[in-house]
Amino acid sequence: MLKFDKKGLIPVIVQDVADGTVLMLGYANKKSLKLTLESGEVWFYSRSRKELWHKGSTSGNMLRVKSISRDCDGDTILIKAEPAGPTCHTGNRSCFFTDFTKEDLE
């Protein structure tokens, strides 16, 4: 069973199926997970806009699902996907392109 938080959300890590690069982290609710399963493309729930979000709907950079698994506790989902272009809204391949430093804690 999946364990959703108090807002009905669960973190979703998206990884490039080709080479294992972590592309992004998003959040899903039951509806977005159902849409992901039905469409074969990744859907999220946008916490800032409070609405469903079809990844790539405006940019064209969809994420095609290749596999979906959950962690041992059922509180995180891993989607291995084939990206159709950059995943990050900045145009970078991955959202994880900035090194963490101690200044990030300030």
Query: pLDDT tens for residues 54-90?
Result: 999 999 999 999 999 999 999 999 999 999 999 999 9
- DSSP reduced 3-state for 76: coil
Of the pLDDT bands very low, low, confident and very high (cuts 50, 70, 90), residue 2 is very high
Q: What is the pLDDT of residues 4-52, one digit of tens each?
A: 999 999 999 999 999 999 999 999 999 999 999 999 999 999 999 999 9
Helix (H) or strand (E) holding 37: helix 30-39
Question: What pLDDT sits at residue 11?
Answer: 98
Give the closest residue to 12 by CA, choosing from 80, 95, 84, 88: 80
Let me know if 68 is exposed, middle or buried by CB neighbors in 10 A (0-12, 13-18, 19+). Answer: middle
> Domain map of the chain by residue range?
10-105
CATH level 3 topology of 10-105? Ubiquitin-like (UB roll) (3.10.20)
Question: What pLDDT sits at residue 18?
Answer: 98
The structure's pTM equals 0.94
